[in-house]
């Protein structure tokens, strides 16, 4: 069985969806049905773990040292002294075993069976080259967009491995959530509070904060206006390296909510994207 990574664990714990699907979060403490050994958490801490104040103080001193080396008031003597103190504290922390490596867990060998469907494969490969060639003009068109969607569909058809899962009954899931006595524990309330506070600070006085645009925002508005004028670019010359979805989403907001070619449109779009990323 594949181990859960730290990133997957944090995403599971901090996801807003977990508030309404509590069943999956309790499986880690349950014993397996086959009578085997219960699952153990990935990381455990004993009661004798000491607070790593030396390492934290070393980090603070290093930040203060870097501030001393920044213009316009550069003081290299103070910076070197602070960096030296930070290094000494870091070595002290290492000697006191504030830092340690995790014990390497046994690797479980797993095999993944990959079944490739032959007929969809011979459809998928030509579509890849056709879509690639039609996107050469740096424009989204009806033809290359359809080829792109067809390529994705053919790829899924070729490599998709269906899993035998029980169908989800949303009514039963909602009923269990509503009548579960401890559905709102401390952790879930904290996650919900973070979501609400984030929404408040992202949308409160959005038309005033921040007040003024920069030249970078002006270039974004120029490209959004180009999208509204029918210039369906893939990569935007004024905003190199930016994802095109940002400009198309802002253009959609202008059309749907009539926000106009304003700084408010940019702020509203990015605030909505941020809140969606929390979900």
- pLDDT of amino acid 101: 55
- pLDDT of amino acid 209: 80
Instruction: Provide, rounded to the nearest whole percent, the portion of the chain with pLDDT above 90.
Output: 33
pLDDT tens, 135-154? 988 999 999 999 999 999 99
* Average pLDDT for 247-254: 93
Q: How far is CA 21 from CA 32, 64, 175, 215, in A?
A: 20, 44, 11, 44
Instruction: Provide, rounded to the nearest whole percent, the portion of the chain with pLDDT above 70.
Output: 72
Distance, in Å, from the CA atom of 180 to the CA atom of 177, rounded to the nearest integer, reads 5
Count H helices, E strands: the chain?
10, 0
Give one DSSP letter per residue of 144-188, joined into a string: HHHHHHHHHHHHHHHH------PPP-HHHHHHHHHT-TTSS-HHH
Give the confidence band of 187 by pLDDT, cuts at 50, 70, 90.
confident
Show the tokens assigned to 272.
């909505």
Give the confidence band of 249 by pLDDT, cuts at 50, 70, 90.
very high
Distance, in Å, from the CA atom of 202 to the CA atom of 263, rounded to the nearest integer, reads 14
């Amino acid at each position: 069985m594949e181990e859960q990574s730290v990133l997957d664990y944090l995403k599971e714990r901090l996801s807003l969806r977990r508030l309404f699907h509590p069943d999956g979060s309790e499986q880690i403490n349950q014993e397996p049905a086959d009578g085997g050994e219960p699952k153990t958490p990935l990381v455990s801490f004993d009661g004798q773990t000491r607070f790593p104040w030396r390492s934290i103080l070393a980090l603070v001193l290093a930040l203060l040292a870097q501030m001393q080396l920044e213009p316009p008031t550069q003081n290299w003597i103070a910076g070197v002294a602070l960096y030296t103190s930070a290094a000494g504290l870091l070595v002290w922390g290492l000697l006191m075993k504030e830092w340690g490596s995790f014990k390497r867990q046994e690797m479980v060998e797993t095999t993944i069976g990959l079944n490739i469907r032959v007929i969809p494969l011979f459809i998928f490969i030509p579509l890849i080259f056709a879509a690639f060639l039609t996107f050469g003009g740096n424009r989204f068109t009806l033809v290359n967009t359809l080829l792109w969607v067809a390529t994705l569909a053919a790829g899924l058809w070729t490599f998709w491995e269906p899993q035998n899962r029980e169908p989800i009954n949303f009514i039963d899931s909602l009923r269990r959530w509503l009548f579960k006595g401890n559905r709102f524990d401390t952790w879930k309330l904290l996650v919900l509070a973070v979501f609400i506070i984030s929404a408040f600070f992202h949308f409160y006085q959005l038309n005033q904060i921040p007040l003024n645009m920069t030249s970078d925002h002006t270039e974004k508005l120029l490209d959004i206006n180009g999208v509204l004028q029918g210039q369906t670019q893939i990569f935007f010359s004024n905003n190199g390296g930016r994802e095109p979805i940002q400009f198309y989403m802002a253009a959609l907001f202008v059309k749907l909510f009539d926000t106009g070619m304003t700084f408010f449109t940019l702020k509203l779009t990015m605030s909505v994207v941020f809140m969606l990323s929390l979900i």
